[in-house]
Chains A and B, each alone.
Chain A
Amino acid sequence: DQQVKQNSPSLSVQEGRISILNCDYTNSMFDYFLWYKKYPAEGPTFLISISSIKDKNEDGRFTVFLNKSAKHLSLHIVPSQPGDSAVYFCAANTYSGAGSYQLTFGKGTKLSVIP
């Protein structure tokens, strides 16, 4: 049951251009969304997040957009840099009660930024 879907396993972008990574979800109970970046043999590193009450959040070169009616979010990276090359995971958070906020992850999109 894929509640969080990242349909593009990979994406290649030229340095300096915009990278757009997409994520769809099915569970309407999700109330907080996060993007993590992961290098090989390392743990996921938090990048940016958005609450379900917002439709946009921006942090430097990174912007996350949320379209609740479409159950879709996207991460924009502008301008893309070679150091951005990594696997990007979309994750969704829901409060499950009794102090549990488990994350549900997508399968990830491998971004390659070409110099």
Chain B
Amino acid sequence: EPEVTQTPSHQVTQMGQEVILRCVPISNHLYFYWYRQILGQKVEFLVSFYNNEISEKSEIFDDQFSVERPDGSNFTLKIRSTKLEDSAMYFCASKGLAETQYFGPGTRLLVL
């Protein structure tokens, strides 16, 4: 069964460093998403991406964040200058023509 994959599974970084989180969505999907879950809190929407551009972003998704689909398979989230409060699980999701979004296993980001 096709699934969303994410790398790395864990990332530890120093405050102020740049990180890139990678995702491979399900191959025939058209809509791509990033969500995050801070420990003990709910899963929060960050950004949606469709037709090679951002379709919507939340207040969390400020200028430090960017997304890219550099080729036909990868979907990346870049945080330019990480802050302590960026520590969270980051989930990639993808969706085809049906309503359901399918999630990857997540990347646990720890900013020290």
Contacts and interface: CB of A to CB of B under 8 A. Distances in A.
Contact of A43 (B55, B100, B103): B103
Interface in B20-51: 31, 33, 35, 41-45, 48, 50-51
B83 interface: no
A63 interface: no
Nearest to B6: A43
B69 interface: no
Contacts of A98: 50, 55-56
Nearest to B10: A41
Interface in A91-115: 91, 93, 96-108
Interface in B38-88: 41-45, 48, 50-51, 55-56, 58
Interface of B: 4, 6, 31, 33, 35, 41-45, 48, 50-51, 55-56, 58, 91, 93, 95, 99-106, 108
Interface of A: 32, 34, 36, 41-46, 49, 51, 89, 91, 93, 96-108
